[in-house]
Amino acid sequence: MVPPELHLPNSPERVLITGANGHLGTRLIARLAAADEPVPVRAVVRSERAAATLREKTRGAAEPVVLDPRDVEALACAADGCSAAVHLVGILKEGANSRFVDAHENISVALAEASARAGLRRIVYLSILGSHPGSPNACLASKGRAERILLESKTPALVLRVPMVIGEDDFASRALSGQARAPFVLLPRGGRSLEQPIDANDVVSAILAGVRAPAAAGGPLDDVALDLAGPRSLPRREILALCAALYGRKPPNVIPVPLAIGRTAAFLFEKILADPPVSRAMLGVLDHDDDIDPTDTCRRLGLELTPLDATLRRCVGPEARS
Q: Give the domain CATH number at 25.
A: 3.40.50.720
Q: Determine which of 145-149, 158-162, 252-256, 263-267 has the lowest per-residue pLDDT on average.
A: 263-267
What's the mean pLDDT in 231-252? 96
Q: Is the pLDDT of residue 6 over 60?
A: no
Q: Which band of pLDDT confidence, cut at 50, 70 and 90, is reported for residue 322?
A: low
DSSP state letters, 104-132: IIIHHHHHHHHHHHHT-SEEEEEEETT--
Kindly state whether residue 150 falls inside one of the protein's structural domains.
yes
Residue 158 counted as domain residue: yes
For residue 135, give its domain range: 15-165+198-230+291-305
CA distance 51 to 270: 31
251 located within any domain: no
Tally of domains within the chain: 1
Judged on CB neighbours under 10 Å (0-12, 13-18, 19+), 251 is middle
Domain presence at residue 209 = yes
Q: Quick check: 110 and 75 in contact, CB under 8 A?
A: yes
178-206 pLDDT, tens digit each: 999 999 999 988 999 999 999 999 999 99
Give the integer Cα–Cα distance in Å for 317 and 298.
Answer: 27
Q: Which of 8, 35, 17 is nearest to 215 (CA)?
A: 8
Give the Cα-Cα-Cα angle 29, 26, 51 (nearest 5 degrees).
Answer: 100
Query: Is residue 215 in a domain?
Result: yes
* Closest CA relative to residue 14, chosen from 65, 100, 79: 79
pLDDT above 90 for 320:
no
Residue 272, amino acid: I
Give the model's confidence band at 288: pLDDT under 50 very low, under 70 low, under 90 confident, else very high.
confident
Angstrom distance (rounded) from CA 223 to CA 148: 10
Query: What pLDDT, on a 0 to 100 scale, did the predictor assign at position 9?
Result: 39
Name the 3-class secondary structure at 189: helix
Alpha carbons 114 and 288: distance in angstroms, whole number: 33
SS3 category, 183: coil
In a domain, 313, yes or no: no
| pLDDT, mean over the chain | 90
Name the DSSP class of 69: T
Cα distance between residue 100 and residue 145, in whole Å: 10
Alpha carbons 55 and 15: distance in angstroms, whole number:
16
Specify the DSSP element, H or E, that contains 33: helix 23-33
Helix, strand, or coil (residue 76) = helix
Is 322 inside any structural domain?
A: no
263 lies in some domain: no
